[in-house]
Amino acid sequence: MKILIIGANGQIGTRLAHQLNDSEHDPVAMIRKEKQQEKFKKEGIPTVLADLEEDISHAFKDIEGVVFTAGSGADTPKSQTKVIDEEGAKKAIDEAIDAEVNRFVMVSALKANRDPKNWSDSMQHYYEAKSNADEYLRNSGLNYTVLMPGRLTNEEGTGRV
Ligand SMILES: NC(=O)c1ccc[n+]([C@@H]2O[C@H](COP(=O)([O-])OP(=O)(O)OC[C@H]3O[C@@H](n4cnc5c(N)ncnc54)[C@H](OP(=O)(O)O)[C@@H]3O)[C@@H](O)[C@H]2O)c1
């Protein structure tokens, strides 16, 4: 399956691109800067330049599956979380529908599906954006999986899920 990784230059995206490249699947790394191409090129992983704040439709050509693992990161203003983690995700879901992709995997976050009363003030904007994007995907009609990881350790995987 030809799989578009949105957020491929990130921590999860980079690992995923390499793992998919070693599998029967064909990853396409969606990145937003030309200089990010090098590390994928070295491994023979195709890239496509696209920014979630602009038109991304060209990235979906011949794509059969999508993994959304982009995020605004902790160092941007809170408003940027809505722009990327929610509105960017919704844009990707809409494009996936138009492109008739078979499967959409969302990298969400632990607690995103919990009662908002359990969200801390400092993280509320983050969980709200994740939750809204997840809900949009659940109602999209796409085949989907929503992953809800806690804080990742960046150590080698254990193979246990
Ligand atoms: N790491 C964790 O512990 C953890 C835990 C739970 C959930 N998550 C979620 O998992 C996802 C990935 O996490 P991560 O740690 O891999 O994040 P990351 O390293 O910060 O990667 C996020 C990626 O999103 C990309 N991005 C940001 N704005 C973009 C835009 N406008 N257009 C296109 N791409 C854009 C970034 O591109 P640049 O490289 O160009 O900046 C980056 O490659 C996030 O949604 C995060 O909330 C992570």
**Can you tell me the distance from the alpha carbon of 71 to that of 63, in angstroms, rounded to the nearest whole number?**
21
Residues lining ligand 1, judged by CB closer than 6 Å?
7, 9-13, 32-33, 51-53, 69-73, 84-85, 107, 109, 149, 151-152
140 pLDDT higher than 80: yes
Per the listing, tokens 């809204």 go with 132
Positive or negative torsion for Cα 8, 14, 16, 21: positive
Average pLDDT over residues 66-88: 96
Characterize the bridge pairing of strands 2-6 and 26-31.
Answer: parallel
Helix axes 124-138, 89-98, angle to 10 degrees: 10
pLDDT confidence bin for 8, thresholds 50/70/90: very high
The CATH code of the domain at 2-147 is: 3.40.50.720
The model's pLDDT over 20-53, given as tens digits with 9 standing for 90+, comes to: 999 999 999 999 999 999 999 999 999 999 999 9
Distances (CA, A) of 95 to 20, 44, 90: 22, 25, 9
pLDDT beyond 90 at 160: no
Percent of the residues in the chain that have a pLDDT greater than 70, as a whole number? 100
**What would the mean pLDDT of 89-110 be, rounded to a whole number?**
97
Assigned token pair, 62? 């011949």
Site to probe by mutation for ligand 1, drawn from 28, 67, 82, 152 as the one with most ligand atoms within 8 Å of Cβ, is 152
Pocket test of ligand 1: the residue of 12, 33, 47, 58 to mutate, having most ligand atoms within 8 Å of its CB, is 12
List the residue whose alpha carbon is closest to atom 5 of ligand 1. Answer: 151
- DSSP-derived secondary structure letter, 114: S
Between the CA of 11 and the centroid of ligand 1 the distance, in Å, is 7
Going from the Cα of 49 to the center of ligand 1, the distance in angstroms, rounded, reads 16
Please say if the pLDDT value at position 158 is more than 90. no
Helix, strand or coil for residue 124? helix
Which residues touch 115 (CB under 8 Å, ≥6 apart)? none
| Residue ranges of domains in the chain | 2-147
Specify the residue for token string 């809409």.
94
Known catalytic residues are 126
